[in-house]
Amino acid sequence: MIDLLKIAAAALTLMGGMNAMAQAPTTALAEDTTTPDSATPAMWRITDADSEFILLGTFHFLPPELNWRTDAIEGAIAAADVIYFELEADAPDFQSKAISAMMLNGLYPPGEHISDTLTPDEIYKLREITNSLGLLFSGIDAMRPWRAALSLEIQYVLSQGLQPGAGVEHILLSEARTLGKELRFFETVEQQFSMFSNLSPETERAYLLFTLNHWPKYKQSLWTLYDAWKTGDTSAIDQLMNEDDSVQTPEFFQTVIIDRNEAWAEEIANAMNEGAGNALIAVGVGHLVGDEYSVPALLKAKGFKVSRYGLDEIIQTDIPAGEPANDNAAVEDDIGVLLEAINENRP
């Protein structure tokens, strides 16, 4: 679920925390996890006759000390004529729009409460999780289910020392402006909030109950997902981020993953068909994994050449099971990797 949290997290950060929340203490990282100092995020190359677009799978919350700036990423930034992001989170009016949307669409009318829709056992689970995070139950109780679920998830992430200000997009967006790159954004803040506020009451409730009933798994999977992102293990990322959602909350998954992936793939395809050039696209990694519904898969179905950045798909299948799945070698290393793989597979 981590990929779905950025917009609400940005609003929380700008607001200094929701007024429903007490400040929860944070730690550098969870005590039972190690702190590797570097990461090699998964990347993809999309090409046609005269264009090359690089997709970078991002993680929206990161520890400030993590170094994810690989040579492949640096090269993609330098070569890009245009850099795409999910939304313009540094726009002058972003703060006011985010706060307005969160307050307007995320609260029940006065006198109504989320606990009115829950069973005693569900209320107990909600209260227990809320208290463990140092939040005020009365504040959470006034929220619509989608906002309550997001608030619990975000607060846990923040309590573990992962920060939106250290996330890939936050850093890249600032740098791209400094470099004078042309910037494009797939969505507006209003569009992102409307994904949640327009959910049916049944889907909202299903999302909240899924969060409550899977809370121990959510806490554990956060670090499993973090480790998978660092090594570019796309199969593990897809399983952790998408498979449960697609089965347990299919309408939610359709709205926040599939529909958006299709819209983004269409926009990318149009840009590549309209003219030559290079681009870097930095979006949550959950949108880039999945055999059928991911942005790379949709672009491949449209006729573009798609490969993992640094190693084509044929050689990717030769990676032994259990080893890190990342293959983001620098572009100039492609031929050497290819020859090595061919030699190793000769009879």
Position 244 scores a pLDDT of 64
Position 288 scores a pLDDT of 96
Model confidence at 136: pLDDT above 70:
yes
Position 248 scores a pLDDT of 65
Tell me if 47 is assigned to some domain.
Answer: yes
Residue 80 is encoded by which pair of tokens? 């890009």
Model confidence at 8: pLDDT above 90:
no
Q: What CA–CA distance (Å, rounded) separates 259 from 271?
A: 19
Distances (CA, A) of 241 to 103, 234, 272: 27, 10, 28
Other Cβ atoms less than 10 A from the Cβ of 254: the count is 15
User: Which pTM does this prediction carry?
Assistant: 0.80
Tell me if 247 is assigned to some domain.
Answer: yes
Tell me if 15 is assigned to some domain.
Answer: yes
Q: What CA–CA distance (Å, rounded) separates 66 from 76?
A: 19
Distances (CA, A) of 338 to 140, 142, 304, 311: 54, 57, 21, 8
Across 33-47, 56-70, 153-167, 278-292, least confident range: 33-47
Position 247 scores a pLDDT of 62
Distance of CA 297 to the CA centre of its chain: 17
Find tokens 């499993």 and name the residue.
224
> 281, 193, 269, 284: which is closest to 238 by C-alpha?
284
Given a contact cutoff of 8 angstroms between Cβ atoms, the answer to whether 295 and 96 are in contact is no
Position 128 scores a pLDDT of 97
Position 199 scores a pLDDT of 86
Tell me if 288 is assigned to some domain.
Answer: yes
Q: Left (φ > 0), alpha (ψ -120 to 50) or beta: where does 71 sit?
A: alpha
* Average pLDDT estimate for 62-77: 94
Order the strands of the 51-58 sheet from edge to edge: 182-187, 82-87, 277-284, 51-58, 43-47, 305-308
Position 250 scores a pLDDT of 82
Distances (CA, A) of 43 to 73, 120, 192: 8, 46, 24
Model confidence at 2: pLDDT above 80:
no
Tell me if 29 is assigned to some domain.
Answer: no
Tell me if 28 is assigned to some domain.
Answer: no
Q: What CA–CA distance (Å, rounded) separates 96 from 77?
A: 30
Given a contact cutoff of 8 angstroms between Cβ atoms, the answer to whether 6 and 167 are in contact is yes
> 201, 118, 106, 194: which is closest to 154 by C-alpha?
106
Q: Which domain holds residue 164?
A: 2-22+34-344
Given a contact cutoff of 8 angstroms between Cβ atoms, the answer to whether 20 and 143 are in contact is yes
* Average pLDDT estimate for 128-145: 96
Tell me if 62 is assigned to some domain.
Answer: yes
The burial of 316, by beta-carbon neighbours within 10 Å (0-12 exposed, 13-18 middle, 19 or more buried), is given as middle
Averaged confidence pLDDT in the chain: 81
* Average pLDDT estimate for 223-250: 84
* Average pLDDT estimate for 215-231: 92
Position 310 confidence tier, pLDDT thresholds 50, 70, 90: low
Q: What CA–CA distance (Å, rounded) separates 90 from 72?
A: 25
Q: Give me the number of domains the chain comprises.
A: 1
Position 177 scores a pLDDT of 96
Tell me if 271 is assigned to some domain.
Answer: yes
